[in-house]
Amino acid sequence: MKTLTNLKLCNKNILVRVDLNVPVVNGLITEKSRIEAIKSTIKKLIYYKNKIFLISHYGRPKGKQNKEYSLNFILKTLKEEFQIDKINFLKNFNETEIKKMISSMEEGQLCLFENIRFWPGEENNDLSFAKEISKNFDAYINDAFSASHRNHASIVGIPNFLPSLAGDNMIDEITNIDTFVNNPKRPNLAIIGGAKISTKINLLYNLIDNFDTIAIGGAMANTFLHANNIDVGNSLCEKDLSEVALSIVEKAKKNNCKIIIPVDVVCADHLTDQVNITHCDIKNIPNNQKVLDIGNKTTQIILNNILQSKMVLWNGPLGTFEYKPFEKSSINIANVIKKNTNKLKISTIAGGGDTISVIKMAKAEGGFSYISKAGGAFLEWLEGNESPGVIALKENTII
């Protein structure tokens, strides 16, 4: 696979696929890790006097122009983060407009294209669309590992027409995640949370083969409780997946992998309930309340396992962390990892947007060996599936 280390690009017109699909609340970017992740690649390209054209998606506009999903808003932040005075903006992928922009730009300057998902050819992986984009460019760099699990034109289509390289962030993600998948240190622990077991079935099956212990929290734990004939009240629960939950537990037994599910929980009438909060054993969940966090006993079991592990993987919060006091278990876990990663020489990796948000809430970023900026791509890689975008780079033979 070609990289910026083994193939220098100087004075070229470069297409760079990045992921600027950042979280925004009331017009403000609340988390910038995906922007920070591409700095290394961008700075190298600037240093070697390339003309750099950034391609990204934002949201789900479904192939239609939609001002709500325009990337124009992010220009100010990009200039601040890259410490440059100017970033050009192209509203379309028209060849004439691209040629004009290339002619007007100075060496080392950047241009951001409008949200590529405004064009149906992106998600349809239309090769004619990819070919049209590729005209007038000398090389393509994919630095968007977090989007590389998609069979989209800007991910797998463009490498059919240009010399294609992996950016620094792409290499960083693959190297660090592969360390956990292919070279596990024992004993090890996977902490898996989130809302639905349906989105993480394959992940759990695959982790059983590589981990000694898996701790399950979040709303997805309710499905495991229901499968064990525990009444979870009004909680979010995928009851139709009870058999799947039991099969996961059965596979774990055969592989000597211990599954930790909650023994106690924190419940309330609704997410914003600050009054009717119940701490209880799983056998005493009120039938009119929702489980919104794991309890203190369960949290302590997980913390004890962290301290006994040489490697810890974390994906998914264990409670509805956006609402107090249901962030408590996730914050406690983040803090214990922060305190002990270096002290006890534990290799720790975390990934997923909500997981990163919890870690930042706890101000524990510095306590992890590695934090992946990818979401779905991180999960698919852990499931044992090499991303289509990575395969496209490996198979690229254009020089």
* Residue pLDDT, tens place only, 46-82: 999 999 999 999 999 999 999 999 999 999 999 999 9
What are the residues facing 371 on neighbouring strands?
Answer: 350
For the record, the structure tokens of 174 come out as 């693959």
Q: By percentage, how much of the chain surpasses pLDDT 70? A: 100
- 8 Å CB contact between 50 and 9: yes
Q: What share of the chain is helix, strand, coil (3-state, %, to 5)?
A: 45, 15, 40
* pLDDT higher than 80, residue 181: no
* pLDDT higher than 80, residue 234: yes
Mean pLDDT of the chain: 94
* pLDDT higher than 90, residue 32: no
Q: Which of 295, 351, 352, 353 is catalytic?
A: 353
Is 353 considered catalytic here? yes
Is 34 considered catalytic here? yes
* pLDDT higher than 90, residue 399: no
**Segments of the chain assigned to CATH 3.40.50.1260:** 13-169, 184-380
Q: Which of 63, 108, 376, 384 is catalytic?
A: 376
Q: Which stretch of 161-170, 199-208, 284-293 has the lowest confidence by average pLDDT?
A: 199-208
Query: What is the C-alpha to C-alpha distance for residues 363 and 300, in angstroms, rounded to an integer?
Result: 20
Q: Token match 């017109």: residue?
A: 13
pLDDT at 346: 94
Query: Between 3.40.50.1260, 3.30.420.40, 2.60.120.10, 3.40.50.2000, what CATH number should domain 13-169 receive?
Result: 3.40.50.1260
Pairing of strands 51-55, 13-17: parallel
Instruction: Please tell me what DSSP assigns to residue 357.
Output: H
CA-derived radius of gyration, the chain: 23
pLDDT at 27: 83
- 8 Å CB contact between 24 and 30: yes
Q: Which of 39, 49, 185, 196 is catalytic?
A: 196
pLDDT at 293: 96
Q: Write the CA distances from 291 to 223, 263, 300, 361, integer angstroms.
A: 11, 12, 18, 22
Residue 292 phi/psi, 5° resolution? -120, -5
CB atoms near residue 253 (< 10 Å): 11
Is 254 considered catalytic here? no
pLDDT at 389: 95
Q: Write the CA distances from 43 to 131, 158, 169, integer angstroms.
A: 27, 23, 12
Query: What is the C-alpha to C-alpha distance for residues 240 and 222, in angstroms, rounded to an integer?
Result: 12
Band (199; pLDDT cuts 50, 70, 90): confident
- 8 Å CB contact between 259 and 302: no
Band (164; pLDDT cuts 50, 70, 90): very high
pLDDT at 300: 97
Q: Which stretch of 100-114, 266-280, 372-386 has the lowest confidence by average pLDDT?
A: 372-386
**Third-level CATH fold of 184-380:** Rossmann fold (3.40.50)
* pLDDT higher than 90, residue 30: no
Q: Which of 2, 17, 34, 328 is catalytic?
A: 34
Is 376 considered catalytic here? yes
Instruction: Please tell me what DSSP assigns to residue 388.
Output: H
